[in-house]
Structure 1
Amino acid sequence: MDFRAELASFLKSRRARLRPEDLGVRPFSGRRRVPGLRREELAELAGVSMDYYTRLEQGRAQNVSDAVLDAVSRGLRLDDAERAHFGNLVRALHHGSADRDGTPRPESVRDGVRILLDSLGDVPAYVIGPRLDVLAANPLARALFGDFDALPAARRNVAWQVFLAPGARELYPDWEEVARDTVVALRLDLGRYPCDDRLCTLLGELSVRSEDFRRLWAEHGVREIAQGTWRLAHPEAGALLLHRETLHLAGSPDQSLVTFAAQPGSESAAALVLLSIALTRSSSSAGRAIHS
């Protein structure tokens, strides 16, 4: 991964969304060839020299302090997620990662979390790790999103399923929104794990095989997405409206539990109950067949 190009594109995209007149900055004279802030205007806002900011944007600045990162972030009006990503990219150029070696920790899911997954009953849920790999899923999640356990390891991944799996656009009526959120999550992971070869391999495959991924990746979206509402059009359960919550697991900082709950008393809740009952009956029938 070319982190110099990644840093430059990110900062340029954030300059492009701002106008000097909205920030109280005196516009520099001369023909404006690009939209948004020019480098000179941002340097003035951040209180750094034009030469230093240019070197920073090009990935050539050494020993960039937190004070400089904060000043540039304020000038660009970055939110907390964008500020963290900016810092990760700068550190990735020189140190691999802020506080790790740039690679994720081991990805085993502890027994207590697996028990919790299976006890959720009528709530589809799975555990994701770095690069959006699905590390474990309960039966209802596998029935809705696909049997991850039966897939090759490279395909047990939310991003692969959203962009490359057959039927993804039919499953998600709001596919564009789901896809954009997926890309945003991958970009955050790129900053957190700059030395992760598997993440770079995944990004390469998605870039080669999906024009939509390339288009969304070029937006440089960065934000934390912990919750949301997903609509599904499932071939068996029908139309579903599910509330997604992402819960970070204490003791496993690289893992999150993602749940998809329906509003109590809704048609979606009833559909999940029926699907859960059908799965239980199917499992019981299989068990009886094995022991007959």
Structure 2
Amino acid sequence: MADTEEVDRQAELKAFLRSRRARIRPSDVGLPTFGDRRRVPGLRREELARLAGVGVDYYIRLEQGRNEKISGELLDAIARALRLDPVERAHLHNLARPARRGGHRPVERAAPGLQRLLDSMTGAPAYVVGRRTRVLAWNRLAAAVFGDFGAVPDRDRSMARLVFLDPAARELYRDWEVKARDVIARLRLELGRHPEDPELAALIAELAQESADFGRLWEDQQVLDKTHGGYRLHHAGIGRFSLDFRALRLPEEPDQLLVAYIVEPGSALEAAMRRLERAASE
């Protein structure tokens, strides 16, 4: 999976390509299957190579991590054959042709002015997450709903650690696995963008060791840049409710997301949130 120094990019590329081949049935792309006994589901490497219009040996070298000079055009052809969505296609490019981004930043801080913006967003929870899903800033209501981020040691203040290692998360998220899959998909996206980040590699290795659920879900190879959605929650002070959210990537800090939850004006939930916010400020 990952060690504490750097992610094995070639192993990640191989696992990603194999997982995407496995999800396409031969009949989906017009290949005959009558009398065809397959040891593994999905497309064979030879079939995918033909569909993409690349040489079989060329594709096999790519999947084995032995082709360092593949062009963007050929990667796009493979992405089309695999029916990858835009985020998955970008992930494939990141793994196969990693850009040199220089050294990672060991200390990440919220972009200037964000805390003031969050403090002005009353009546709705909002927070900023950075690379490695680290929670960088939050407003008072976010802490009241999702937990007191300020009480969590700086090293542990990441959504990934909170979701997989804090038992309170399983009580808060009524569909815990939905949230867990979203976190993993974001981690894998960051992994493709920053395979040289040793702290990211260490986080993934730690979670794989400490959480059987993380290891199980990680093997699905899901990658996603989720910009909106919603969760069903249960809070001791409010009860059961649902919240939709929007996630906005910051132009000046592309590794950081502002996540704002939406509360309908005039609703009973808004009134409950206001009460919770007042209680948190006392």
Normalised to the residue count of structure 2, the TM-score between the two structures is 0.93
Structure 2 CA distance for partners of 1:68 and 1:240, relative to 1, 3 Å: same
C-alpha distance in 1 between matches for 2:278 and 2:68:
60
- Preserved CA contact (<8 Å) 1:239 1:268: no
Alignment pair present for 1:80 and 2:81: no
The secondary structure found in structure 2 opposite 1:62 is coil
C-alpha distance in 1 between matches for 2:65 and 2:34:
24
Normalised to the residue count of structure 1, the TM-score between the two structures is 0.90
* Aligned-residue offset at 1:271: 1.2
Greater helix share, structure number:
1
- Preserved CA contact (<8 Å) 1:241 1:268: no
Tell me which residue corresponds to 1:236.
237
CA offsets 1:69-92 (integer angstroms, 9 cap, x no match)? 00100110111000000111112x
Number of residue pairs aligned between Structure 1 and Structure 2 = 276
- Preserved CA contact (<8 Å) 2:233 2:242: yes
Structure 2 CA distance for partners of 1:27 and 1:103, relative to 1, 3 Å: farther
Tell me which residue corresponds to 2:159.
158
C-alpha distance in 2 between matches for 1:214 and 1:102:
28
Q: Which amino acid aligns with 2:235?
A: H
Tell me which residue corresponds to 1:51.
57
Decide which of 63, 66, 74 is 1:68's aligned counterpart: 74
Q: What RMSD, in angstroms, separates the aligned Cα atoms of the two structures?
A: 1.8
C-alpha distance in 2 between matches for 1:35 and 1:266:
49
Alignment pair present for 1:38 and 2:64: no
Tell me which residue corresponds to 1:112.
113
The secondary structure found in structure 2 opposite 1:232 is strand
C-alpha distance in 1 between matches for 2:34 and 2:60:
16
Alignment pair present for 1:249 and 2:250: yes
Does 1 or 2 have the higher relative contact order (CA < 8 Å, sep 6+)?
2
| Structure 2: tracts of 5 or more residues without a match | 1-6
Displacement over 3 Å in runs of 4+? 25-31
C-alpha distance in 2 between matches for 1:227 and 1:122:
19
C-alpha distance in 2 between matches for 1:245 and 1:208:
32
Structure 2 CA distance for partners of 1:80 and 1:105, relative to 1, 3 Å: farther
| Structure 1: tracts of 5 or more residues without a match | 92-96, 283-292
